[in-house]
Amino acid sequence: MDFTLPEELELLRQSARKFAEEEIAPHAQDWDREAYFPDPMIKKLGDQGFMGILIPEAYGGAACGYMAFAIILEELARHDGGLALAVEAHNGLCCQHILIGGNEEQKRKYLPPLAAGDRIGSWCLTEPNSGSDAIAMQTTAVRDGDGWILNGAKQFITNGHRAGTFVVMAVTDGAASPRGITAFVVERDTPGLSTGKREEKLGMRSSDTVVVTLDNVRVPDSQRLGAENQGFHDVKKVLEHGRVMICAISQGFARGALEEAAKYSLERTAFGKPIRSFQSIQNKIADIAVHVEAGRLMLYHAAHLLELGQCSVHKAAMTKLFITEMATRSCMEAIQILGGYGYLRDYNVERYMRDAKLCEIGEGTSEVMRILISRTLEEQGVY
């Protein structure tokens, strides 16, 4: 067992860190206030290879794998969670689904522009009346000659405002098990597809989140991803991967909380001493540091298992539950260490806390993660 990161991943971390420090950090507070990051960032991310991290070279990607993806997401999220979420939803959900469910022709058609950052992708599962209970979705796709007609609405769709490619889940046979769901690729300019206003959010504000409406959207059968009525199997696979990758974003916040709190504790004085000299402050910082270290080990182990094709639902759920909740707690503690300044928008830690909260909800809530973990423990005879 070797816990050392290979040299190429260390180099990747250095270059992702440099990119994030130079291109993201100076703007992150403004993007949070304006609730948007500029469109040219997508191409810049593409030029770095960050928009095709998991995509094989044959389709224009960087084919770096899950460890590399985790490292990049942590570095991006260290400075801007919204941008990291946009990159995660694009790679980890949209592109990932095309990789899992798409045939050769579909991969050749859709993946190269996504990998280059010429367009960004969205993944549309959640609906106004179905989130955790995703198979209760009401969007339908009905056969129409050599194609399908899609009708319905998708809620909370990351990147939806500017996405060029949407992967959309719809019910094709309500009687099939588990409720016949099929995935389709829908391109932006397809008549009947429209997107709503950008939602006003607590955190992850630089990423756009919208309602996507499908009003008699016709797609040819060649845009069906995977087998008819079997889409939910692919959705579960996508989520299993996505749940680990969203942890990398949380890991970035936790590390940010640690670094910013430690720095502040050296600069701020109270009662004639840097607050770092108070044992209660040292304890808080030590606790955050331990949690960051534990989170990183869990994240890298889960990412390693993803690369081997051995990451279970249980493992992904445990990793997501621990890291996402740990990150929110760490950010709250960082705010406490900064005192009143921690509560101001001028400092980063309150933004990290607002961003971190989303990761306990998106791609499966903490409550759902606990259910999945308990279910496996029961199967294992633990209780």
CA–CA separation, 22 vs 321, rounded Å?
A: 31
**Angle, alpha carbons 339-257-75 (nearest 5°):** 155
Alpha carbon distance 246, 309 (integer Å): 18
Among 19, 59, 69, 123, binds ligand FAD (CB under 6 A): 123
Q: What share of the chain is helix, strand, coil (3-state, %, to 5)?
A: 55, 15, 30
| Smaller CB separation from ligand FAD, 123 or 184 | 123
**What length does the chain have?**
383
Are 62 and 19 spatial neighbours (Cβ–Cβ below 8 Å)?
no
Q: Looking at 51, 70, 115, 204, which residue binds ligand FAD (CB under 6 A)?
A: 204
Per annotation, catalytic residue among 74, 75, 88, 363: 363
**Amino acid identity for residue 185 in this structure:** V
CB of 79 to ligand FAD, least distance (A): 18
Interface mask toward ligand FAD for 356-375; x: CB under 6 A: --x--xxxxx-xx--x----
- Whether residue 187 lies in the annotated active site: no
Which residues is 180 bridged to in the sheet? Answer: 173
Q: Radius of gyration (Cα) for the chain, nearest Å?
A: 21
Site for ligand FAD in 149-168 (CB under 6 A): 156-158
d(C-alpha 330, C-alpha 322), whole Å:
12
125 counts as binding ligand FAD under rule CB under 6 A: yes
Restricting to residues 269-288, name those near ligand FAD by CB under 6 A. none
Q: Which residue's beta carbon is nearest to the bound ligand FAD?
A: 131
Among 87, 124, 193, 321, binds ligand FAD (CB under 6 A): 124
| Distance in Å, CB of 114 to ligand FAD, minimum | 15
Given the structure tokens 């990290």, which residue do they identify?
352
Residues near ligand FAD (CB under 6 A) are 89, 123-126, 131-132, 156-158, 201, 204, 209, 358, 361-365, 367-368, 371
Catalytic positions, written as ranges: 363
